[in-house]
Structure formats: structure tokens, C-alpha cells
Amino acid sequence: MAAVLLGGCSEATTSGQKTLEVALWDENASDAVNRAIEAFNEKHPEVEVNVTYSPFAQYFTTLRTSIGGGSGPDIFWMNAVNFYEYAEPGLIKNLEPFIAGDDEFSKEDYYESIVELYSYEDQLHGAPYFVDAVGLYYNKELFDQAGIDYPDESWTWEDIETVGAELTDPEEGVYGYAAPIVSNQGGYYNYIPQAGGEIVSEDQQSSGFDSESAKEAFRFMKRIVDKGISPDIKSQIQNDLNQMFMSNRIAMLPAISVMSIEFNEAMGDQIDIAPLPEGEEDTAVVHGISWAMNDHVEDEELAWELMKELTGEAGNEQIAESGFSTPARLDAGDLWLESIPHMNLEVFIDAQETGTPYPLSRNTAEWQRMEQTEIQGAFLGEESIDDTLDQVADEMNRILRQGQEPD
């Protein structure tokens, strides 16, 4: 798969047929992607569209190598962590010139959160495809067996500790709750803003990991782990939390909306979703995926037409009907709610209004790797959480200053 990604951009074959190369990492989206491509080919039968799915672990390394070498796919999935690494050096197209001359595409049709997420210097560089947020998945069967009411919008961190303890059964290997440590998006990227803090400042100049709010968020996580309510760091490294949840070993799990379809296939109406229990604030981190266009694309107008097919009204309806995740277009949400009618997917749509944007800055990937390594080390007992957060903030501030002009 990686070898395909290293191939060139769109080109014309000897028979005169044109090709477009498309890349992404999740085959669970293949149904919606294929339907959009079929619709595109009805309008452009002369174009062959080749789709490459690559494992996420290798996706961005291979992508950056191929694009940096002047080739790579014509359009491809982009996430927030890597966005600046492609937008800032001009490796992907600014989409504003295409939008300005196209009455069929309007940024106002999409959730503001994802438009802002993929805007560089107020210019959109990624066409919104779907959004995601974090909700509280829970096992109704385990709640029913314990005679406990299901979680709802009134729940707080205190309820997690109290009810989580009641649902924990060491003899059966059941945890009442999972406090994700190995996953920042599912875990502390929510707890820190819920405690009133921030991961990175709004001006993207300084870290928030050394704030009292951040430390309170990690104290909450540590209490949950120390009480045995949540799997500890060693268990989380050795066992996938999603698999533990689907194996009835975790009663409550915070996870992103993209997991809805997989959980539903594994557990059916045994599970449902509630909003994340709130701390000082009622919020959850919101993210999403966009389609980016290679700056080296040969036929940019043709690539734009395919991008519109994927992210326009029909394309968003297809991603909604597939159940994969919340469509990025505001008018397609109801279709997604119908895709798994017994699950409270409305939680994720509501989160777009109250959510906290995924932390984004220059060099995000670099400080995020450091942050995860240091925090996991602290939970392994190598250093106190408070001292670790101070160190994370210092190193993150150093990374944020890299490449900036001195005052």
C-alpha cells in the first residue's frame, strides 16, 4: 500500500484517460468513498480514480515523504495533528480560490469548528468531510445487572467515581470506567478543559499543562486508577480499551463518535451513549477529518470536482447513511442519527455546540509525542504527575517557540 502512495499525481495515460490518486487510512469509510467516486465517474467517465488505504501508523510518514519528493496522491485525508506540517510550507492547496469561483461550495454549510480547524491564516486548506466528538459509551447490561440507572446529561465527575466503584467487579475482571491514558483525545484532552484549563493557549504560544486546572484533571484520572475503577497504565498498554469494552470488561468508556458503528456491530442494543460527565465545565474535545489537495496536483480543477463530490451534499449524505461518523455538513446530521437509531448519536451533534476544539498549533505532532511519552511515564510511577506536567509544559513551550522570530 505504501508503494502506491509514493506514486505520482494525476496524469493522462497513453489512451488519453486521466487518473486521480486518492489516499486515506480507514477502510470503514470505503462504502461512502466508493459511492462518491461512482457519482464523480458518471460526470467524468474519462477519469480513473485509484484509492489507496494505508495503516494509520505509516500513513503520514509515507505521505510526507512522497509529497516532499514532488509526487504523492492528488487528494488525501488530513487530521489536525499534522495539518500545520502541510499547510505552513505550502504542501497542500489553499482552497479559497476554488471556493471563490464555485457557487456549489460554501463554508457556511459546515460546522464552524471544522472549518476553523482546517484554516491556515484564515484560508481554508482542507475540505470538511466528517466531524467527531467524545461521548460516554456505556454497557446497559452491566448497569441492569447492578440495578443502577443509566448515565445522563446531569452526571459529573463525582458520579463517575461513585457509580464506577459500584460497577467495578475485580473477581469478574470488570472495571466500572476507563480513564484513557494512552489516548489523549479520548482522555485528558477532555478532562483539562472540563476542569477549566486548556492544552495550548488560544494564540498557540504557550502550554496549559502546568496549570492548576490541568493538574486537577490528572488528579481525577489518578484517583480513578488508584481506586481500581479504571484499568491502570500497564493494562492499557497491554490491552486495547475498545476491545475490553466490547468484551464486557468495561462498563463505561469515553470514546469518539467513529467507534459507534464498530461498537454497534459488536454489541448491538446492549450499549448506548451519554454526554461526557462534566467537571467545572460541560465540554468535550471536537475534531474531524478533511480532504486536502496536493500542491503538485496536475489537474487541480478535476481534483477539486472530486473533492466536492466527496464533501458536498451527496457525499456527506453518503457518509451519514453509512453510520461512519457525524457528517461535516450541518444539513446531513439527521440522516446520521437514523443510521443507528437505538443509539443516542445526538450526543455527538450537541457536542459541536459546546465542544472544545482539538488543540492545534505549529509543531503539534512533535510536542504531542513528547507529551504522551512523559505522561505515560508518570503513570508508570517514574515521577510525580505534578512534576511531570511542569516538565511537559516547559518542553512544549520550547517546541512552540521553534522557528519563531525573536521579539
Q: Which tens digit of pLDDT belongs to each residue from 249-299?
A: 999 999 999 999 999 999 999 999 999 999 999 999 999 999 999 999 999
| Averaged pLDDT for residues 48-63 | 95
Is the pLDDT assigned to residue 50 strictly greater than 60?
A: yes
Burial of 43 (0-12, 13-18, 19+ CB in 10 A): exposed
Q: What pLDDT does 262 receive?
A: 93
Phi, psi of 24 (to 5 degrees): -160, 180
Question: Who contacts 14 (Cβ-Cβ below 8 Å, separation ≥6)?
Answer: none
Q: What sign results for the dihedral spanned by CA atoms 131, 200, 224, 159?
A: negative
Is the pLDDT assigned to residue 28 strictly greater than 80?
A: yes
Q: What pLDDT does 7 receive?
A: 46
Between 383 and 398, where is the model more confident? 398
Is the pLDDT assigned to residue 15 strictly greater than 60?
A: no
- At 5, is the pLDDT very low, low, confident or very high (cuts 50, 70, 90)? very low
pTM (2 decimals)?
0.91
Tell me the percentage of the chain whose pLDDT exceeds 90. 89
Is the pLDDT assigned to residue 407 strictly greater than 50?
A: no
How many other β-carbons are positioned within 10 Å of the β-carbon of residue 235? 17
Is the pLDDT assigned to residue 88 strictly greater than 60?
A: yes
- Three-class DSSP category at 35: helix
Q: What pLDDT does 69 receive?
A: 87
Q: Which tens digit of pLDDT belongs to each residue from 345-393?
A: 999 999 999 999 999 888 898 999 999 999 999 999 878 999 999 999 9
- At 402, is the pLDDT very low, low, confident or very high (cuts 50, 70, 90)? confident
| Averaged pLDDT for residues 92-119 | 95
Q: What pLDDT does 301 receive?
A: 96
Q: What pLDDT does 70 receive?
A: 87
| Contact predicate 205/400, CB 8 Å | yes
- At 6, is the pLDDT very low, low, confident or very high (cuts 50, 70, 90)? very low
Q: What is the mean pLDDT of the chain?
A: 93
| Averaged pLDDT for residues 77-99 | 95
Q: Which tens digit of pLDDT belongs to each residue from 124-163?
A: 999 999 999 999 999 999 999 999 999 999 999 999 999 9
Q: What pLDDT does 362 receive?
A: 82
Q: What pLDDT does 404 receive?
A: 64
Give the end-to-end CA distance of the chain in Å, rounded to a whole number.
46
Q: What pLDDT does 152 receive?
A: 96
What are the counts of helices (DSSP H) followed by strands (DSSP E) for the chain?
19, 12
Measure the CA–CA gap between 328 and 30, rounded to whole angstroms.
17
| Contact predicate 264/258, CB 8 Å | no
Q: What pLDDT does 346 receive?
A: 96
